[in-house]
Structure formats: C-alpha cells, structure tokens
Structure 1
Amino acid sequence: MRASRLLSLLLLLQTRGRMTAAEISQELEVSIRTVYRDVEALSSAGVPVYADRGPAGGYRLLDGYRTRLNGLSAEEASSLFLAGLPGPAAELGLADVAAAAELKLLAALPPEPRSHASRMRERFLLDVPGWYRDADDVPLLGLVADAVWEGREIRMLYRRWGPAEVTRQVRPYGLVLKGGSWYMIAAPQDAGPRTYRVSRIISAEALSARFTRPEGFDLAEFWQDYSEDFRERMYPYEATVRLAPGAEEMLRLTAGTRPVEAALATAGPPGEDGWRVLRLPIESVRHACWLLLRMGASLEVLGPPELRELMVSAIREMAALYAAGSPREPEPLDHGR
C-alpha cells in the first residue's frame, strides 16, 4: 500500500510541479503528517525532492528530473488502449500523433503489460456512433479545436434548429464527443457558456483576439450539468400506461432506457393479471403516440386523454387500411414518356 502511495506522490510531483503538503494530503487522502513521512522516504531513496519555504512554497522535484518508472499495471495499460478512439483522433487531425504515442507507450511497457495491452487492442473495439447513424460531418472541427487549444475567439455562421442562420462571436472553452457528435462549449460575448453542435457550423474563422478561460470552469462538470438539464427538458410531460408482463425490455428499446427505468422505479406492484401501471416521461403527445404504437397490444395508454385519442385514431386508420383487403398494386412510375 505504501509503495503504491509513494509512486502516486512521485507521479503527482512530476506531472503537476510544486504542490503544498495540504494539496498532496487532499489528493492522496492521507494526513499531512503522512505526507511529511512519505516525502522523507522518497528523499532517502534518492529522489531529488525539495521543499520551498514561504507562503508560495511547497514540495517539488529537481528541475529536469523525470522518472522512467510508469507504474502501470497490465490492466491500467490495457485501459489506455481501450480508451483510444482512432476515429475522433483522426477528426481532430491527431491520427498520426495518436498512433506514434501508442507505439511509444507499447515500447516503454514491461513485457507482461505490453502483451496484455496488445491483446486488448486486438480483441476490443470502440465504435462511437449508434446503429444506422453515421458520425457527423465536421469539416470545421480542426479549426474549432485549434481555437480551443490556443484560446482564440471564433466568429461563425451557425445553423440553429430550423431554417434560421445566425452569426455569433464566441469564446470556445472545450469540445465534447457524445454519441458520434461533436459539441463545442463556448460563451458568446457578455453571456455564459452554451452548447453548439459542430456539424451545424456553416463557416467560421479564428480571430486574433485571445480570451482567458473563467477561473474554476470545469468542462466535465459543465457537461454533466448540461446533460442532466437536457434530459429534464427532453421529457417535460408524462403519460400513464398499462404494461403487459414481460414487456419491459421492449418498452426500453422503444421509449429509451432512462425514462422507462424512471417509470419502473415509481410503479406499484402488478395487478392480478400481471399488468403494471406506469407514469412514463414523454417528449410530447404526438411523439409519444408515434413511439408507443410500436408496442402493439403489449401496452395501453390510459392518459392524458389527448394521447389516448391520438392512439385510438391512429389504430382505427391502420385497421381501416388493412381491412380493405389484399394490398393494392403499386402505381407504375411515370418516367415522363
């Protein structure tokens, strides 16, 4: 346990530079007294750890000191290769760099972790986009990524939902890849950060003006908050339905895992016939009708009344269509002759 902690301390100082005892204590979740003992142990082992005194002081390694000890277990090394996504790397213009880094990492690993990592790469593949859905076409992703990295403002022509096109000058804080789609987190002038889909950027130019990222802005935290808020806004309504026994998985595939799990979590016990009454989050009445028709006789809509009426109307139209007899012969195509 202590050897692992000493290695973590060494790598912390190597990657972050100067750190106070309090910062190390918080990072490693140990007492400050333990930090003092661990620093002394590293120094006794020949690691050049120095203490800078004063208010801005802390522990640091001798300038230029780097350890070749990576401390990666076989599982940790494998996880790095599993996390490598060649598609997104290529979209960012980093395909060659990522491939070179992978080769260097493999060469630096001891035999056992190297073998484990190679098997992981041969046996597992991450494919981000969903079925029947290609990744977004993002010709301007490289420009956006450079602006994010260099802290330059962007002026862009952006296509909003619908036919509207708007011009925006923004400060790009970061990029997020979600389900095969790239999103730019950026702040317009005199406004807080917002989310823009990169594939909807029609044209863009990086400006000479630079900006300073807001102190304390955390991209992962922002995206988590945005995702939760988006899910709440995505399902603002609710439908009451009766679900046949054993149809839960079919409903998950039809309406999505999250809303169905939320409905099942608050549902009461099944009735004597095995059917359960659920309060299912939905986007809109019309969208719910389109989705829930797929469930056939495995689900009955109880409310709201307008959704039940839409379901009844759609089912009657379908019944009339199929009651007409044999299918109609397709109309011959008119080739203009």
Structure 2
Amino acid sequence: MRASRLLSVVLLLQDRGRLTAQQIADELGVSIRTVYRDIEALGAAGVPVYGELGANGGYQLVDGYRTRLTGLTPQEAGTIFLAGVPDAAAELGLGAVLTTAELKLRAALPARLARHVDEVRDRFHLDPAGWFRETETHPHLAALAGAVWNRRRARMRYLRWRQPREVDRDIEPLGIVLKAGVWYFVARVGEDLRTYRVATILDLTVLDETFERPDGFDLAATWAAWAADFERRLHRDTATVRLSPAGLDRIPYLMTRAMARNVRDAVGERGPDGWTTVTLPIESVRHAHAEFLRLGEDVEVLSPPELRDLMRASVTAMARLYS
C-alpha cells in the first residue's frame, strides 16, 4: 500500500511540477504528516525530490528526472489500454497520435505487463456508440477540437429546431463531450455557457483571435449539470397510466431513463388484476403517444384526457386496418 502511494507521489510531482504538502495530501487522501514521511522515504531511496519554503514553496523533482512505468500493476496496465477509444480519437484527428502513444507505452512496459495488456484486449472491448441510430458525420469536429486545444475563438453557422433554423454564433469553445456515441461541445457565447451538438454545425471558421478560459471551469461538472437540467426541462408534463406486469418489465428497455427511474421508484397502486398505476414524466402529449404505443396492450393511459383520446384513436384505426 505504501509503495503504491510513494509511486503516486513521484508521478504527481512528475506530472504537476511543484506541489505543496497540502496539495499532495488532498490528491492522495492522506494527512500532511503522512506526506512528510513519504517525502523523507523517497529522499532516502534516492529519488531527487527537494522542498522550498515560502509562499511559493513546495516539493518538486530535480529537473529532468523521470521515473519509468515499472511500478504499474497488471490491472493498472490493462485498464490504461481499456481507456482508449480509437474511433473517437480518430474523429478528433488524433488517431495517429494515439497509436504512437500506445506503442511508446508498450515499449516502456516490462514483458509480463505487455502480455497482460494483450490478454485484456482479447477479453474486453469498449464500444461507446449508442444502439439503433445512424452514424452522424462530423466534418468540423477536428477543427473544433483544435480550437478548444489552442483557445481560439470560432464563428459557426448551426442548425436549430426553432425559427430561424440556421443561426450564426461567435463562440469560445471550451470542451468536447462524447455521450453515447454523440458528440457535443460546451462553448462560451458572450457571458453564457451553452452546449451544442457537433452534428448541427453547418460551417465553422476558426479565428486567429485567442481567449482566456474561465477561472475554475470544470468540463465534467458543467456537462453533468447541463445534462441533469436538460432532462428536467425535457419532461415538462406527466401522464398517469396502468401497466401490466409485462409492461413494467419492458419499460427500462423501451422508454427514457427518466421514465424507467420513475417506474422503479414509484410506489404504484397494484390492482387485483396485477396491473400497476403509476405517474410518469413525459416530454409532450404527442411524444408520449408515440412512446406508449410501443407498449401495445400492456399499457392503458388514464390521463391526461387528450393523450387517452389519441391512444383510443390509434387503437381504433389499427383495429379497422387489421379487421
């Protein structure tokens, strides 16, 4: 346990440069006293780490010192290669870079770890794309990624749902997200942070002008907050339905995550016939109409009345068609 922590201290200093004892303690989840003992142990083992006092002080490695990756466990070595998504890297224009990096990493690994990496790849494969949708084209993704990396402003024309459909925006692209096979990006527009789908970009011009990234911007936290808010805004209404036992079982496979969560968490009223009454979030009456038709005879809509009327009309038309 301690050997692994000592290696983590070295890798942190190697990656970040100068760090205070408090920063190291926060990263590793240990006490400052433990950090002091670890730094002392590293020095005794011959690792060239030294400390400086003062407001800008801290610990750092002697310039040019690099540790080798021989401290990796077999599990750690395997998961590094599992983390790669070559298709995504290729779309970002980094396919060749990823290949070269993996070759260099494999060359640095001991033979037994290299064999373990091959075994992991033979047994596990990551496919981040979603099911049942056409592959989107992203002709502007690589240029957008370059703008994010180089902090370059950009001008884009994109397609949106409401009128006018085609809109021009000057943006400061801050980060790119791959969600279930769909590419999104977060950008600052004026003083606002906005999220767009990369496939909606019709034209993109990367400008020579650079920008400063917002202090404290956290892409993962920003995306999580936006996704949660999007889900809340998407489901503005509710519908009360009766579900058969089979309908309850099919909800997680046919409906949205929010619907499935509500069915899982709801304390429904189960009738003597085994059917359960639950209230579910819906995007709109028209959208819910199409969704509930997928459940066929395993759902009965109770409210709102306009949704029940639409279901009745569809069932009547289908009966007439098949009679």
With the shorter chain as reference, the TM-score category is over 0.9
* TM-score, length basis structure 2: 0.95
- Structure 1 residue identity aligned to 2:31: S
How many positions carry a matched residue from both structures? 322
Q: Does the C-alpha gap of structure 1 residues 259 and 71 become closer, same or farther in structure 2, counting only changes over 3 Å? A: farther
Q: 1:25: which partner in 2?
A: 25
- C-alpha deviations, 1:211-249, integer Å up to 9, x for none? 000010000000000111111112121111111124323
- Structure 2 residue identity aligned to 1:309: D
Q: 1:148: which partner in 2?
A: 148
- C-alpha deviations, 1:250-273, integer Å up to 9, x for none? 122221243222233022353332
Larger radius of gyration: 1
Q: 1:165: which partner in 2?
A: 166
- Structure 1 residue identity aligned to 2:16: R
Structure 2 residue 175 is matched with structure 1 residue 197: no
Residues in 2 aligned to 1:70 and 1:199: alpha-carbon distance in whole angstroms: 42
Q: 1:273: which partner in 2?
A: 273
Q: 2:110: which partner in 1?
A: 110
- C-alpha deviations, 1:66-115, integer Å up to 9, x for none? 11135222122211222211111111111111111112222222233222
Residues in 2 aligned to 1:36 and 1:118: alpha-carbon distance in whole angstroms: 39
The 5 A counterparts of 1:120-139 are 120-139=120-139
Q: 1:88: which partner in 2?
A: 88
Q: Which runs of at least 4 in structure 1 moved beyond 4 Å after TM superposition?
A: none
8 Å Cα contact 2:269/2:278 also seen in 1? no
8 Å Cα contact 1:267/1:276 also seen in 2? no
* TM-score, length basis structure 1: 0.91
The 5 A counterparts of 1:47-86 are 47-86=47-86
Q: 1:100: which partner in 2?
A: 100
Residues in 1 aligned to 2:119 and 2:129: alpha-carbon distance in whole angstroms: 24
Runs of 5+ in structure 2 lacking a partner? none
Q: 1:334: which partner in 2?
A: none
- C-alpha deviations, 1:145-202, integer Å up to 9, x for none? 111100010011111125611111111101111122211211112x221011111111
Residues in 1 aligned to 2:283 and 2:261: alpha-carbon distance in whole angstroms: 16
8 Å Cα contact 1:185/1:194 also seen in 2? yes
Identical positions, percent:
51
- Structure 1 residue identity aligned to 2:305: P
Residues in 1 aligned to 2:95 and 2:69: alpha-carbon distance in whole angstroms: 27
Residues in 2 aligned to 1:86 and 1:34: alpha-carbon distance in whole angstroms: 39
Residues in 2 aligned to 1:269 and 1:315: alpha-carbon distance in whole angstroms: 25
8 Å Cα contact 1:134/1:180 also seen in 2? no
Runs of 5+ in structure 1 lacking a partner? 324-337
2:129 aligned counterpart, secondary structure: coil
Structure 2 residue 219 is matched with structure 1 residue 208: no
Q: 2:183: which partner in 1?
A: 182
